[in-house]
Structure 1
Amino acid sequence: MYSVVSHLYSRPQRQKKPSHKSRRQDLSCPSRLIGYIRNRFNKDKGGSGEDDVDDLNLHVVRYRPEELDKLAKTTKFTRKEIQLIYRGFKQECPTGLVDEDSFKDIFAQFFPQGDATQYAHYVFNTLKHNSSGQISFEEFLGILSKVSRGTIQEKLQWIFGLYDLNKDGLITKTEMLDVVTSIYEMLGHHTEPQVEENSAREHVEKIFHQIDLNHDGVVTIDELVEWCCRDERILQSLEMLDTVL
């Protein structure tokens, strides 16, 4: 699973100079996501930001988020950072809520070289915690806080939830293969190293038994944590997102 976790949390590899055919895309998933967030959320950074504070405290948007002070207490972001994130969130989701189709459209913007539809679906399911099929600003901010600045345990909990597709507390080889395949489809054919058609299946076959310590055919959160904590490269990769803005 190291290369999968690396796609999610590792430093981007050095980019090659663009050829006349295409510019190779070799940034990891979080690097592109964070770059997109930074670009969108800081687009109007020169402003005072007071309007955003008013939006949060006076509830003038259609969806009424919690007060700024409460969000600062319940997440690992400062008031100013929440203000910037909220500004970008409003640009993408003016109503204060995002549904799955909109979420997929956002993913498609920073992974244009592949098909991010299925992976975006899996990520969206880790974010929403109700039956409405929509994500609120508070839910988005809470997950972003844990994934970017949470503890190793919190980050691994999110990764485990991403792979545990049926939410039964166990990851099967089929579930792992489904998610890994969606990552490879999202990265497309212009990545470094290039993705071969059978790479996903071969990768899962190679490492699943390493994580499944008792060889019972499923991976538990404890097994995932133990396996990741034995590899210093993964731990270093998980530390990469401690600063988002």
Structure 2
Amino acid sequence: MMPNKKLKEKHLDALYKQTHFSKAEIEALYTMYRRLVIAAQAAAPASAIGHPPKIDGIDQSTFRDVMHNTFDLVTEEAILERMWMTWERGAAGGEGSLRFESWVKGLSVLLKGNMEERIGYCFKVYDLNNDGFITREEMFLLLRNSLLKQPGDEDPDEGVRELVELVLKKLDVDKDGTVSLDDYREAVEQEPLLLEAFGQCLPTKRHTTTFLKTLTNKT
């Protein structure tokens, strides 16, 4: 089902109040959203009886393409997967695609979010099992591909475990062996560079500024 060409005024007003975007930016994002959904429909294979595929929003493949090509988020596959799951979990019903409302709210945090919103977002991405804590095991999985393995290393994971302990020491404010959201928030407020300690899940300022300018130019 293709999204309507025009965004209804009540939906525009609601999203304006719920996000950090101007109304003109929301309308430009809607144009982008329609284009992405239509392109996904055209690219998807037809069913066995020739019916066009039913794509009701931004699917995971399109999401990954946008993160790679528009925001240059060339991050670990595990991080991209978690980003998708975090966005999708915030969508109504978690239907395997992002409707426009979820898409805009996610982009609002990604591109214009305040520190509290970004802290909450990054924490959700890093909390792999959604239990409210980032554990040593989760840190290991997130960081294991961040270190280059040297030829001849007897235990290539030893460096990762050492890095985990180093990061845990900085983030585990209450010293209970795991990182809660409160721990993470307090540590990041003291040292903002720790926000993306386990991998990039936010675009750079340069890519953010460039993208936002394209929205302005389209209106």
**One fold, TM greater than 0.5?**
yes
Kept in 1, the 8 Å contact 2:171–2:187? The answer is yes
Mapped to 2, the partners of 1:225 and 1:137 lie a distance apart of 29
Quote the offset at 1:202 in angstroms.
4.4
TM-score (norm 1): 0.59
Matches within 5 A, 1:1-245: 55-57=6-8, 67-94=11-38, 95=55, 97-109=57-69, 116-129=76-89, 130-181=93-144, 184=146, 196-197=148-149, 201-231=161-191, 233=193, 245=212
RMSD between aligned alpha carbons?
A: 3.4
TM-score (norm 2): 0.65
Quote the offset at 1:69 in angstroms.
2.1
The C-alpha deviation readout for 1:115-171, integer Å capped at 9, x for no partner, is 753322110011012331221111121122123323211110111101111111111
Structure 1: stretches of 5+ with no match in the other structure = 1-51, 59-65, 185-194
Structure 2: stretches of 5+ with no match in the other structure = 39-54, 150-156, 196-201, 213-219
**SS where residue 155 of structure 1 aligns?**
helix
Mapped to 2, the partners of 1:114 and 1:74 lie a distance apart of 29
Amino acid across the alignment from 1:74 = Q
Q: 1:178 to 1:136 in 2, by over 3 A?
A: farther
Mapped to 2, the partners of 1:113 and 1:123 lie a distance apart of 11
Mapped to 1, the partners of 2:71 and 2:177 lie a distance apart of 33
Name the count of aligned residue pairs. 173
Quote the offset at 1:67 in angstroms.
2.1
Quote the offset at 1:215 in angstroms.
2.5
The C-alpha deviation readout for 1:89-130, integer Å capped at 9, x for no partner, is 222222551222332344454699967533221100110123
The C-alpha deviation readout for 1:14-39, integer Å capped at 9, x for no partner, is xxxxxxxxxxxxxxxxxxxxxxxxxx
Amino acid across the alignment from 1:117 = E
Mapped to 1, the partners of 2:119 and 2:113 lie a distance apart of 10
Quote the offset at 1:87 in angstroms.
1.9
- What is the match of residue 10 of structure 1? none
Question: How many percent of aligned residue pairs carry the same amino acid?
Answer: 27
